């Protein structure tokens, strides 16, 4: 009886094993017959190439285009499935040497829009005569380098003027050592040029910080009324010297999100610019108001005004509408550039309205602080 039970159990185990084994085999066959879930590696790579910010082109042994992504056409590297002779020549060199070749590409002209100014890339052999071109738009880097060169050239020129003047005045002082009146006159001029030089260096440092990688101070709630008072204090001397009265509207209790020191500098620059380009005795005014999510501080003068074609240029570094007037007032040509970058770094902007012979209004727009519920004298306050 025991042997019979053992035979039955063994036979049962064999049947179970055959059933399980068959099930596993059928499952493996179904798995092999069905494609894996999700995209394949090849599909993912193709999507990566087509979505790349760089131009990617595959060339065959004859230098003809085998494959390229849309970016290659956008950058002008490929047009009508061809590349220019310059790239083909570089491809031949890469194929002969078996080494990557860096190249500055000449983008092909496009029938629409404005093409990139500079496209640089690398050609790499892939084997079997095929080559890969990987190119990127470096127009912005080229423009920044050109701006840097212009900036250095302008700084050198601007610094040379007061330094040269001080050297000549020092020689005149030496020659006039026995004439007290001449010594006083030349000393006053040296002091004027030294002050101008110091101001130029200070503004250059401020502008480089605003444009560079240096982290701006942490933004806090700033009272606009306090900014107006401090800026008026800075511009007081130049206004009194020219007999110009700066009028202001009533306090507003408005708050902005910003850095107080930078905002005072920007507003003081606008006031000093208004004073410098106004006739003696003419009025200059400041007004402030809430405009939607922004607080606006406007500086208005009744000066010479700015022609429309020059209104954007006044925010360029070292640009002066009237060079003779700037020399007389000690202007550096950097004040409005600083205003522009202070506004931009606060997430705001500076606007200009001007008409020759009538005057100008510069409006500094800075994002309002969430807790700003003040009102402007003209009723444009509160949350709009």
Two tokens, residue 278: 């106004």
pTM of the shown model? 0.53
Q: Return the pLDDT at 296.
A: 95
Q: Which residue has the tokens 């910080």?
A: 209
Confidence of residue 2 (pLDDT cuts 50, 70, 90): very low
The string of pLDDT tens digits covering residues 260-277 is 888 988 998 899 888 888
Say what percent of the chain tops pLDDT 70. 69
In this structure, of 22-26, 246-250, 301-305, 376-380, the range with the lowest mean pLDDT score is 376-380
Helix (H, G, I), strand (E, B), or coil: what is residue 352? strand
Higher pLDDT, 349 or 29: 349
Which residues, including other chains, have CB under 8 Å from residue 232's CB and lie 6 or more apart? 246, 248, 271, 286
Higher pLDDT, 7 or 294: 294
The string of pLDDT tens digits covering residues 103-120 is 887 654 544 445 677 788
Higher pLDDT, 133 or 201: 133
In the predicted structure, residue 3 carries a pLDDT above the cut 70: no
Report how far apart, in Å, the C-alpha atoms of 303 and of each of 39, 314, 323, 331, 356 are.
68, 15, 15, 16, 8
The predicted model gives 198-224 an average pLDDT of 69
Q: Return the pLDDT at 286.
A: 94
């Amino acid at each position: 009886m025991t042997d019979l039970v053992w035979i039955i159990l063994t036979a049962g185990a064999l049947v179970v094993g055959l059933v399980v084994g068959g099930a596993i085999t059928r499952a493996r066959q179904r798995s092999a017959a069905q494609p894996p879930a999700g995209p394949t590696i090849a599909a993912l790579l193709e999507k990566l190439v087509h979505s790349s910010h760089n131009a990617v082109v595959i060339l065959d042994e004859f230098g003809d285009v085998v494959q390229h992504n849309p970016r290659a056409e956008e950058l002008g590297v490929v047009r009508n499935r061809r590349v220019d002779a310059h790239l083909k020549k570089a491809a031949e060199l890469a194929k002969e040497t078996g080494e990557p070749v860096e190249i500055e590409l000449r983008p092909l002209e496009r029938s629409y829009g404005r093409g990139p100014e500079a496209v640089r890339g690398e050609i790499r052999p892939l084997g079997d005569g095929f080559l890969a071109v990987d190119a990127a738009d470096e127009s912005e880097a080229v423009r920044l380098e050109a701006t840097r060169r212009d900036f250095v050239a302008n700084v050198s020129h601007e610094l040379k003027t007061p330094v040269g003047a001080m050297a000549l005045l020092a020689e005149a002082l030496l020659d006039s050592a026995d004439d007290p009146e001449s010594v006083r006159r030349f000393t006053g001029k040296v002091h004027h040029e030294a002050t101008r030089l110091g101001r130029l260096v200070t503004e250059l440092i401020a502008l480089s910080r605003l444009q560079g990688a240096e982290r701006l101070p942490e933004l806090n709630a700033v009272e606009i009324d306090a900014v107006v008072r401090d800026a008026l204090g800075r511009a007081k001397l130049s206004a009194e010297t020219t007999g110009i009265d700066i009028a202001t509207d009533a306090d507003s209790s408005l708050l902005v999100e910003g850095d107080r020191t930078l905002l005072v500098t920007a507003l003081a620059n606008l006031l000093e610019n208004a004073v410098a380009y106004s006739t003696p005795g003419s009025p200059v005014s400041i007004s402030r108001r809430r405009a939607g999510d922004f607080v606006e501080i406007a500086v208005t003068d009744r000066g010479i005004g700015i022609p429309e074609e020059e209104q954007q240029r006044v925010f360029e570094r070292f640009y002066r509408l009237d060079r003779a007037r700037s020399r007389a007032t000690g202007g550096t040509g950097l004040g409005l550039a600083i205003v522009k970058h202070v506004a931009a770094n606060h997430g705001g902007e500076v606007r200009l309205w001007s008409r020759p012979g009538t005057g100008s209004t510069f409006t500094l727009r800075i994002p309002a602080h969430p807790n700003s519920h003040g009102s402007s004298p003209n009723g444009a306050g509160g949350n709009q």
